[in-house]
Structure 1
Amino acid sequence: MTDVMAPLDGQLTADLFNYESLLPDAERKILLRARALMRTEIKPLVNEYWARGEFPKELIGMFRASGLAGLPYEGYGEHRPAVSNLLSGMLAMELTRTDASVSTFFGVHNGLAMYSIYSGGSQEQRDRWLPEMAAMDKIGAFAMTEPLGGSDVAGGMRTTAKRDGATWILNGTKKWIGNATFADYVVVWARDVDDNTIKGFVVTKGMPGFTAVKIEHKLAFRIVENAEITLTDVRVPEADRLQNVDSFRDVAKILRATRGGVAWQALGVMIGAYELALDYARQRQQFGRPIAGFQLVQDLLVKSLGNITASWGMLVQLARLQDAKIFRDEHSSLAKAFVTARMREVVSWSREIFGGNGILLEYDVARFFADAEAIYSFEGTREMNTLIVGKSITGQSAFV
């Protein structure tokens, strides 16, 4: 198939309303740098490693050379002043537009892990860990979800932390932890057995009692090395406990920010699938002409573009609220619930345009179709995010 996506210095096919023009020139150059990295260096690797279910370690060096890590954090990364949340969101979109697994690897490191330290750590901890993470000399992971705890993890976290002098003893199991098989630092969340609050700990690779086993046979996010982590009497120094995390409210601040990032990923999946379908429809011949000239195919493409455009507009305003520091849980929850639902529609319509070819990896759209299911579920299910928004607009909690 030929690639009809816009040139690296041009407007995306899916950006009908030219949202990308909202970025100042300096930030758009960073976005274009990410676009070039994904299209020229990373895209050729994706299908091979997706089929093998392996993470290509050479990606770390590629991202290191790109200087894209650490950009959202004041004083860290290539740009000392932090970039806008609009650029951060569009970067997540751009990475996912090529592959959701690669975007998730980067998002876990640059978002969940680094933001946990940036938001929850002391100044000494930020200065100790973030520079080498921003340089991608050290890779991070984020361990919250448990085998028996997902949506109820705030009140049902089973991993425990027990203070013992100058150290904490961690015991428990975490599941679906991206990057954990090779991460240098894993931010582990555990319940303090003495005061029943949630605390965060930075567990360093190789600590006795820490094991991470790769989860096999996944049908989505196959490039991401998700792991099941076991913590058996892992001793973590008090100096490695995130000093500014005193309750789950502090954790919720982190999730509020990263949940918006997942919505941007969902937009990237939509755009990637739509662009593939549009390209295919222009080339695929049936009844003597391209199927792009068929009314029903155009209907699917236009509905897809409508979902993309509406979702993009919502996320632009979400980023503005974040930049103004006035965004709330219901903002990111509505965005995550709405955009991921629209994403499901677009990947289904896009795969439909491919017909039987849509299940072949060589056409790429099957990868987007499968990965969309993971994005739909993580960082809060549609149901949980719906209840967060529902509580906000009615004043009544429907949680049980």
Structure 2
Amino acid sequence: MSTTTAAPPATLASDFYGVQTELAPAEQDQVLRIREFLEREVRPIADDCWDRAEFPHHLIPGLADLGLFGAHLPETARFENGMLYRGWVALELARVDPSIATFVGVQTGLTMTAIAGGGSPEQREQWLPPMGRGELMGAFGLTEPYSGSDTSRGLRTTAERHGDTWTLRGAKRWIGNATFADVIVVWAKDVADDQVKGFLVRTGTPGLTVTKIERKQALRTVQNADIVLDGVEVAEEDRLQRVSSFRDVAAVLRPTRAEVAWQAVGLAVGAYEAAVAYVASREQFGRPLGSFQLVQDKLAESLADITASIALCRRLSLLAEEGNQRDEHAALAKSFATTRMRATVARCREVVGGNGIQLDHGVARYFADAEAVYTYEGTRDMNTLIVGRAITGIQAFV
């Protein structure tokens, strides 16, 4: 669906300190192309897709043409780009639709990164180029019905080898993109050595059942699923050849946790921009709502939270560029940015008043979606424990 809209701004008013200007010229040009596509193709349908809990599959070719799938990988990158650019793109996506940002994050940050980091050269060549072109979709199967934050110790899905074949048994939950994925990266414990292994499971494999999760109240456009693996057989050649423990899974999650921090900033920006537009046009007591001191105070506080989060994420991206990003760096950014996001969307919902709970006024979708982003890729509590361990040198996990 294409709708005529005004040209998007070259810079965002919410980028108060002008961090976007630090991008290379080619990166800035691409950001503007992405912004224009999102405003033209995504924003006009975002509320309706969210309301109906349906995914707009027709957007996939356009997203692929913009190089959004695998921008960080040599097999799929369209041009040379840096970590700050990739973070800013996550912000841009979430600013318009956090569900689309999550979809891209699952395809790129989780699935393709897992194959790139854990796969053999042959597996990389087989899967990454078509995924980068949007011809194949992927999903990432880690979280389980009874294992979320304790996944590193509590993984229940098992893998048992018989010659050149592995048999997988178990279940996964909250697996984004799984209802239409061509391949699912499934993480399972090897019964022989109790270490986590990764497997490329093609959808349609006998014993694999994928069921859409219904009645969600956040990121409704994202197609999350329950997965059951009942004796699913996977060839040894479809095991990720360079994965031998949960440490390899954590290496995948480290950069994606940073990306979620950027997503959180974008989500807060989207709610803030909707609130600013609303208070400029809404009148109360014969005056624009934006003329009241308490409203301006809430907007200023929201902008401060956004600006602080951008600054934190910017430095995180530079640390990653230098090769110096550690787990506690990503954990602090994710914890801080999502907490400030949650406060921002609540303030923005408040200044829109009763209309803030209705999709038509721009804030409600962000307000609801914030709860999912606040939780996935590590809850606030789990991330603060990672930071606390770095501060004290003491392990406080149960």
Give the TM-score normalised by structure 1.
Answer: 0.97
* Match for residue 117 of structure 2 among 101, 116, 119: 119
Q: Which runs of 5+ in 2 are unaligned?
A: none
Alpha carbons 2:188, 2:198 under 8 Å: kept: yes
Alpha carbons 1:214, 1:228 under 8 Å: kept: yes
* Residue identity opposite 1:389 in structure 2: V
How many residue pairs are counted as aligned between the two chains? 394
- The corresponding residue for 1:381 is 379
* Residue identity opposite 1:44 in structure 2: P
Q: Matched residues in 2 for 1:70 and 1:145: separation?
A: 23
Alpha carbons 1:291, 1:297 under 8 Å: kept: yes
Q: Matched residues in 2 for 1:377 and 1:242: separation?
A: 28
Q: Which moved more, 1:201-210 or 1:304-313?
A: 201-210
Alpha carbons 1:93, 1:268 under 8 Å: kept: yes
- The corresponding residue for 2:273 is 275
* Match for residue 321 of structure 2 among 310, 323, 327: 323
- The corresponding residue for 2:68 is 68
- The corresponding residue for 1:56 is 56
User: Which SS does the other structure have where 1:106 is aligned?
Assistant: helix
Superposed CA offset, 1:73-109 (max 9, x none): 1232323x4x211111111110000011111111100
User: Which SS does the other structure have where 2:159 is aligned?
Assistant: strand
- The corresponding residue for 1:142 is 140
Q: Matched residues in 1 for 2:125 and 2:9: separation?
A: 36
1:9 deviates by 5.0
Q: Which runs of 5+ in 1 are unaligned?
A: none
Q: Matched residues in 2 for 1:241 and 1:8: separation?
A: 44
Q: Matched residues in 2 for 1:110 and 1:379: separation?
A: 14
Q: Which moved more, 1:32-41 or 1:297-306?
A: 32-41
* Residue identity opposite 1:303 in structure 2: E
Alpha carbons 2:7, 2:36 under 8 Å: kept: no
Q: Matched residues in 2 for 1:384 and 1:317: separation?
A: 22
Alpha carbons 1:6, 1:12 under 8 Å: kept: no
RMSD: 1.2
Q: Please show how residues 74-93 of structure 1 align to structure 2 within 5 Å.
A: 74-79=74-79, 81=80, 83-93=81-91
Q: Matched residues in 1 for 2:338 and 2:173: separation?
A: 22
Q: Matched residues in 2 for 1:112 and 1:12: separation?
A: 28
Q: Matched residues in 1 for 2:64 and 2:7: separation?
A: 24
User: Which SS does the other structure have where 1:136 is aligned?
Assistant: coil
* Match for residue 222 of structure 1 among 201, 220, 223: 220
Superposed CA offset, 1:155-184 (max 9, x none): 010000001111111111000000000001
Q: Please show how residues 1-400 of structure 1 align to structure 2 within 5 Å.
A: 8=8, 10-79=10-79, 81=80, 83-400=81-398
State the identity %.
Answer: 51
User: Which SS does the other structure have where 1:188 is aligned?
Assistant: strand
User: Which SS does the other structure have where 1:145 is aligned?
Assistant: coil
Q: Matched residues in 2 for 1:48 and 1:275: separation?
A: 19
1:267 deviates by 0.2
User: Which SS does the other structure have where 1:312 is aligned?
Assistant: helix
Alpha carbons 1:159, 1:172 under 8 Å: kept: yes
* Residue identity opposite 2:201 in structure 1: V
User: Which SS does the other structure have where 2:331 is aligned?
Assistant: helix
User: Which SS does the other structure have where 2:256 is aligned?
Assistant: helix
User: Which SS does the other structure have where 1:220 is aligned?
Assistant: coil
Q: Matched residues in 1 for 2:314 and 2:165: separation?
A: 44
User: Which SS does the other structure have where 1:233 is aligned?
Assistant: strand
Alpha carbons 1:315, 1:335 under 8 Å: kept: yes
* Residue identity opposite 1:142 in structure 2: F
Superposed CA offset, 1:346-367 (max 9, x none): 0000000100100111112100
Give the TM-score normalised by structure 2.
Answer: 0.97
Alpha carbons 1:20, 1:28 under 8 Å: kept: yes
Q: Which moved more, 1:5-14 or 1:389-398?
A: 5-14
1:59 deviates by 1.9
Q: Which moved more, 1:257-266 or 1:50-59?
A: 50-59
User: Which SS does the other structure have where 1:219 is aligned?
Assistant: coil
User: Which SS does the other structure have where 1:297 is aligned?
Assistant: helix
User: Which SS does the other structure have where 2:173 is aligned?
Assistant: strand
